């Protein structure tokens, strides 16, 4: 995608990815058993989103329940994996809202903790940050991830699962350009947090 190109709005992305009428428009005949192939990836993301084995299991179970219930709306030419992750993300927002732990941003706006890593900050000299990053362990990363907003954490985890910018835009319901800038800020913030843990 050329620089600065921004899909006009989230609806356009969503419509293209999820409810496209451009091919046959027919729903797949039955829920594919191959959907279970994505179970480990869904669980992996769910576990890091929720921070708990039990909640992750509930979230994944809820994801498949919703997917089965909503299968008739799935179009044959859409991306099953991204569709499942979209449902997981929606289910997580629902459970989060229910728990009322903290507000979840859904409007594509910037998370407070994803904006504090400013572009103009002084870079570490002597590759000190690189050395720190090379020495972090899984527990450091888990703790740093857990300290991020749900939105920033979700972006980083989905990116780690290999989704493209366009797929992320479809999952999160926002424009590709917004996804890239939010992901960039989220990763900067994660690095800041990792420095904090190692200082």
**Minimum gap (Å) between residue 64 Cβ and another protein:** 5
Question: Of 45 and 149, which CB lies nearer to another protein in the complex structure?
Answer: 45
> Residue 112 Cβ, how far from another protein at the closest point, in Å?
18
Q: Which is closer to another protein, CB of 1 or CB of 112?
A: 1
Please choose, from the candidates 174, 171, 149, the residue with its C-alpha nearest in 3D space to the C-alpha of residue 159.
171
**Closest CB 87 distance from another protein, rounded Å:** 6
Q: Which is nearer to another protein, 112 or 127 (CB)?
A: 127
Tell me how far, at minimum, the Cβ of 70 lies from another protein, in Å.
4
Count how many residues are written for the chain: 199
Cβ nearer to another protein, comparing 101 with 112? 101
Kindly report the CA angle at 50 between 46 and 56, in degrees rounded to 5?
50
Give 23 or 70: the residue with its C-beta nearer to another protein. Answer: 70
Q: Is the CA virtual torsion 150, 99, 55, 68 positive or negative?
A: negative
What's the CA gap between 136 and 129, in Å, rounded?
11
Are residues 38 and 81 in contact, defined by beta-carbon separation less than 8 angstroms?
Answer: yes
Residue closer to another protein by CB (options 24, 72) is 72
**Nearest-approach distance from CB 18 to another protein, in angstroms:** 7
Smallest separation, CB 88 to another protein (Å): 11
């Amino acid at each position: 995608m050329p620089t600065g190109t921004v899909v006009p709005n989230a609806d356009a992305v969503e419509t293209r990815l999820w409810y496209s009428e451009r091919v046959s428009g027919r729903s797949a005949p039955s829920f594919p058993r191959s959907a279970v192939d994505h179970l480990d990836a869904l669980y992996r993301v769910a576990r890091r989103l929720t921070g708990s084995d039990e909640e992750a299991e509930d979230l994944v179970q809820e994801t498949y329940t919703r997917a089965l219930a909503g299968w008739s709306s799935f179009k044959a030419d859409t991306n099953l994996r991204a569709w499942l992750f979209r449902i997981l993300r929606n289910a997580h927002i629902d459970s989060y809202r229910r728990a009322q732990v903290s507000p979840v941003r859904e409007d594509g706006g910037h998370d407070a903790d994803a904006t504090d890593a400013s572009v103009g900050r002084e870079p570490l000299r002597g590759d000190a940050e690189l050395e720190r990053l090379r020495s972090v362990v899984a527990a450091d990363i888990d703790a740093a991830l857990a300290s991020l907003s749900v939105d920033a954490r979700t972006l980083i985890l989905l990116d780690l699962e290999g989704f493209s910018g366009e797929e992320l835009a479809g999952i999160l319901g926002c424009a590709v350009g917004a996804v890239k800038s939010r992901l960039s800020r989220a990763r900067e913030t994660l690095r800041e947090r990792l420095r904090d843990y190692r200082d």
